[in-house]
Amino acid sequence: MKKLYSALMTAFNEDGTVNEKGVRAMVRYNIDVNHIDGLYVGGSTGEAFMLNQDEKKAIFKAVIDEADGAIDLIAQVGGLNLIESKELAKYVTDLGYKTISAVTPFYYNFSFEQIKHYYNEIVKDVDTQLIIYSIPALTGVSLSIDQFAELFENPKVIGIKYTNADFYLLERCRQAFPDKLILSGFDEMMLPALALNVDGAIGSTFNLNAKKAKEEIAAFEAGDLTKALQLQKESNDYITDLLQNDLYPTIKLIFKELGVDAGYCKAPMSKPNPEMIAGAKAICEKYFK
């Protein structure tokens, strides 16, 4: 069966410091309630690009300690500071992470040669496999088939976290790289990604919606497209409600409704207000109670 990964959130205290207890509580929920296959740690959903190096290290350590080998873990170590990315790659490898990931370097319109150097440098000194994190809508970086092929020349680069609405490119990648790992990154597009034979999915909404997502995968693999379409529709209704109520703070508020202290988001993300809290309660009641 194709694997389902939650993109793990980071719990923060109201003052913006990391709430390690809340991080551990979300790891436990994903293992004990969601029965998730793995966690993608330190990505966009984890608000990682607003964290300093010590905060990232504390989160990576708390997650691997709490998971204790029960599930797959992928550590996203990429960013704009290559020295720090290399340091994190070594740190998580020493902790016991078997797989790392790195977002394409962004903002400065790097050339492909610079991007290739970045990936090769991150894995050069560690005995770890790497998944490219491709998310053009946020980075502005779109990689071509030929460029992915060049990155895959490094045997440590094993796959793509494909968070991209270009499904023509996805199909071309799947055909060109049948032995590489491709994980879909858009929760709302999981079904068409499954149809193009991805190896699984990673997403923020799976922190709460993993059961339905797993049912959808099972229905698709059983050939029951009608059921799979209905489940994707139901998931997309839920995703629409989350987006209209402010995605990340709302997921954390629903966690709280379910007895998990997921804390706050880090500024400049929103703090809960009465309207948002009421909306989160309504979403929780509608989908999870």
Annotated binding residues for aceneuramate = 44-45, 163, 185, 187-188, 204
| Binding-site residues from annotation | 44-45, 163, 185, 187-188, 204
Q: Which residues of 206-241 are buried (b: 16+ CB within 10 A; e: fewer)?
A: bbbbbebbbbbbebbeeeeeeebeebbeebbebbeb
Strands 3-7 and 129-134: unpaired
Helix (H) or strand (E) segment spanning residue 12:
none
Instruction: Check if the beta carbon of residue 86 is closer than 8 Å to that of residue 122.
Output: yes
- Is 214 in the active site? no
Q: Which of 86, 161, 256, 266 is catalytic?
A: 161
Instruction: Check if the beta carbon of residue 211 is closer than 8 Å to that of residue 34.
Output: yes
Quote the DSSP letter at residue 189: G
Q: Which of 29, 40, 119, 133 is catalytic?
A: 133
Dihedral sign from CA coordinates of 20, 127, 144, 169: negative
Quote the DSSP letter at residue 152: T
Joined together, the tokens standing for residue 167 give 């499904």
- Is 108 in the active site? no
Instruction: Name the residues annotated as catalytic.
Output: 133, 161
